[in-house]
Structure 1
Amino acid sequence: MAVFTPVSLDDLTPWIKQFPLGQALALKGIASGIENSNFFLTTERGEFVLTIFENLSFEQLPFYLKLMHHLADRGVLVPAPIANDQGELIVALHGKPASIVTKLEGKSQMDPQPVHCAAVGAMLARMHLAAVDYPLQQPNLRGLDWWNETTPQVLPFLDESCAHLLRAEMHFQEAFAGCDTYRQLQRGPVHADLFRNNVMFDGERLTGFFDFYFAGCDTWLFDVAVTVNDWCIDLDTGVLDAARVRAMLDAYHAVRPFTDAEQTAWQPMLRAAALRFWLSRLYDFHLPREAEMLTPHDPGHFERILRERIATSAPELRG
């Protein structure tokens, strides 16, 4: 993520002694994303990722880190949080909450093929099922309440066409969230941000999901829609690629079958997933925060996706 809080090896020398990792040998900021300060950390015990949380509090963070631990214990490929000598997963660094997790093998697959989409779909379904008995509860902090809070903040920056689109889609989504179909959807912990750069592959082998810091309890279908809207599209137009969509949905369905209510809700949920990221990109673009390495994403990308999802019938969930 962007580096909001600079950290040096000298800063880490006394701090890292509380972890069973040996001496810190190298530290490199990760210059993608816009939420936390992330660093590749090399120690005498191996390769790790250090995160300083810029927005989440000490009280909020146990949901995310304990979820990762819960999933890893059940065979879902995620980074493992490292506890300090007091058993704590979250420790203050420069006055902010920080954590260390294991570094996954491989690299992000930025040109996914159907085989990659199938692997992601199957693992996403396993993740949803593995979290059914996760005891902590937290809403999706970028859900409908946040959309309602953020919309009036970004509307003054939009031209008439975009403002009309945003108002109309918010009206649609509020109505959809109040309908019987929505209330029938399966729910539980979701990743909520499973983009291509948050999954690692070694060739065609999926090695892990990471960056769970937008996770919360929401509908599983929303998680599927967020993932399809990134992995299964033409990046220039936002149009869904039929082969990749089919591979992902079929692989998910084979592990956790879709319900009738989810089929009915599929197109509204694809729209909801597009709206969520259009709004967050509008906010980050027009109301930016200071950061040492900060590159806001283009809001136009998810505006195109939203318009496309409104205009074009969604593919069948069950092939």
Structure 2
Amino acid sequence: MHKPSIPELIRQVAAHALTAAERLVPEWLPDGSHSGREWVARNIARGDRKEGSFGVSLDTGRWNDFADTEAHGGDLVSLLAYLRNCRQLEAAQEIDQRLSLGLLERCEISPEEAARRAEKAEHLRRQSLLRTERAKDQLQARQLRAARQAAELWQMAKPADRQHRYLQAKQVQPFTLRQLSQGRLLVPLCADGRLVNLQTILPTGDKRYLTGGRVQGCYSPLGKITEGCRLYVCEGWATGATLHAHTLSPVVCALSAGNLKAVATAMRERYGDVLDLVIAGDDDRQTLGNPGRNAANRAANAVGARVVFPEWPADAPDTLSDFNDLHLWRSQHREIQS
């Protein structure tokens, strides 16, 4: 019977680690966040102050520090060895113990060495838990500050001007939007019906969120959601305003393609299966991979919803991608014909 070599066992541990990447990587790099299927974080091995230069693929395990050309690897065992500044065997053993794999239990080491490694692994596990809890506390504190700031700004603001440059350009009503000085539109972001953040839209169309505020899973509502109603979930606010005006149905705006699935899931969990959930996706025909269409299909499949996309007339240009684009083009087309 073939006895696996140490390198073979390490590769097996790396393969198991990849299936648990969603759990392990945030434990090792707790101050990070998702960017698609990549975990972006501070490089704790060199004391980064901000996240962004260090990324780990949750699908392949490949990791890379763009600020250090020598810091990169192809699996999660090498990542942990780099972060812990230890040998790959020691990193593999920590993962083996963390996942209760038992692959490396029979490696020939002395009882003293085994005890030392177990003590080290337990120490590192506790440190990781402490970092994770500290990161969660810091994140909640930042989100709470942003939510308080959002409430204050919302109270200070007045109803949005119908003649606002952005609203005129999109040919939509302001609905519940509010406005601050210098033409700053405020788009409310809610979670479980509570205001938690704001998206600010400048007259130029530039958009930004409050620093530290919640975004993932948050939405901007248009209209009243009732039991069993038809509810549209879309990306941008202007798209949502267009859908609400044309269908008279309630709409929640995820404000990005990457947030569609999280918002659709939140709606399904809150209102149940009786909700007629429809994902109104963007059709990014000129973007490689059509991220808008793919994100809409993923969201619909995740929650058992229907999905709709703009139906483009034969003479509509390929630059159009969402329902507001279609609304604007049809409006301009009618003006030309008249």
The TM-score with structure 2 as length reference comes to 0.23
Rg larger in 1 or in 2?
Answer: 2
